[in-house]
Amino acid sequence: MTRTEELAIELIRRDSITPRDAGCQESMIVRLEAMGFSIERMRFGDVDNFWARRGQDGPLLCFAGHTDVVPTGPIEDWVSPPFEPAIRNGLLFGRGAADMKASLAAFITAIEDFIATHPTHPGSIALLITSDEEGAAINGSVRVVDTLQARGTIIDWCIVGEPTSDQALGDTIKNGRRGSLSGTLTIHGKQGHIAYPQLARNPVHLMANALSELISTRWDEGNAHFPPTSFQISNLNAGTGAGNVIPGSAEIRFNFRFSTENTADTLKTRLHAILDRYELDYSLAWTLGGEPFLTPPGVLSAAISAAIRSETGRTPELSTGGGTSDGRFIKRIAGELIEFGPINATIHQLNECVALKDIATLSTIYRRTLENLLL
């Protein structure tokens, strides 16, 4: 078994359901300190984070990731316990195997191998690790980035270890993500007896035309890097549960996944204009999950693509699909940022797993990327 596989297994054994770290970061820190990294532990609220750096000169290459994992779901539905790593048919099973403890292990061993061969390498290497990516994401990477930004720290290249591969390791890297903007819309009507509608105002009826327009609106056409902005309703609630009562209010929860053709402010303005046109009595609370970001093809994507081709023979596709990641925070201080990691087919699912052979290959790809960028 390779050192990377052994470390991945050690990390998976730790029950680090968000925002708990369960000692994962200390396991990484011990190995980083042995390589001469300076470590800055940054605990905000109940979240453990750390910033590690080796070297003071530029350029600076940073590996970023998270030790926290999503809840397991019903443990009895797992083939093997989620925090007791198991190998079956060449797959390593356990919560966090793909998202993203295999990547964390590969970060560490890639850096170990690189430094063993190039102990006086030019430039600097850093790690930005959080335990708040799968949770609220308010005391994790965003707080670390705030601290680094206040100091004037600039990252030249950042690799986030999210599981980006689709069908085979190395077929996809992410060079951007869509923005996420959520809203909770409450339409205010007047409750009444269903047999006397003239004495009530049904909020479901009042919102119907506005809702139809929101659903049919083409918010933008996307661009070469992003699909068109998507508006989706996730929840719609109204009524008291009784069959003879007109509800007094209706609540709609919705989300925009938006491209760089829009901003949160432009979407808010357009949506309010539609609601106001129908003269609705409403209240609306907004939550911005993150603005979209994009790293155009450049030095970093070329370096990691070359490393992937060397190890797998594949030329990765650049993609901006999927959900949000901590890249939305780190991009504020990173010139170029991409995400690359193992196959994502089982992430957040029961019996999450990663191919054992891909773990060692992932480490070698990261090491080759270090060589391509710093030597």
Structure pTM? Answer: 0.91
Output the pLDDT for position 322: 87
Residues 332-350: tens digit of each pLDDT = 999 999 999 999 999 999 9
- The HSE-up count of residue 23 (CA atoms within 13 Å, CB side) is 8
Residues 133-172: tens digit of each pLDDT = 999 999 999 999 999 999 999 999 999 999 999 999 999 9
Instruction: Give residues with Cβ within 8 angstroms of 179, minimum separation 6.
Output: 256, 257, 258, 259, 262, 263, 264, 288, 289, 290, 291, 292, 328
Instruction: Give residues with Cβ within 8 angstroms of 267, minimum separation 6.
Output: 181, 219, 229, 256, 258
pLDDT(45) > 90: yes
State both tokens at 135. 């949770």
CB 327 within 8 A of CB 70: no
Q: Of 123, 139, 150, which is closest to residue 62 (Cα–Cα)?
A: 123
Q: Of 213, 164, 210, 102, which is closest to residue 339 (Cα–Cα)?
A: 164
Residue 34 CA to residue 30 CA, distance in Å, equals 6
Residues 288-343: tens digit of each pLDDT = 999 999 999 999 999 999 999 999 999 999 999 888 899 999 999 999 999 999 99
Residues 91-143: tens digit of each pLDDT = 999 999 999 999 999 999 999 999 999 999 999 999 999 999 999 999 999 99
10 Å CB burial of residue 290 (0-12, 13-18, 19+) is buried
Residues 54-67: tens digit of each pLDDT = 999 999 999 999 99
Residues 184-231: tens digit of each pLDDT = 999 999 999 999 999 999 999 999 999 999 999 999 999 999 999 999
Orientation angle between helical segments 356-374 and 3-12, nearest 10 degrees: 110
Residues 174-186: tens digit of each pLDDT = 999 999 999 999 9
C-alpha radius of gyration, the chain, whole number: 24
pLDDT(233) > 90: yes
Residues 239-290: tens digit of each pLDDT = 999 999 999 999 999 999 999 999 999 999 999 999 999 999 999 999 999 9
Q: What element of type H or E holds 66?
A: strand 60-66
Output the pLDDT for position 324: 87
Torsion of CA 351, 169, 129, 296, to 10 degrees: -140
Q: Which residues are marked as active site?
A: 68, 133
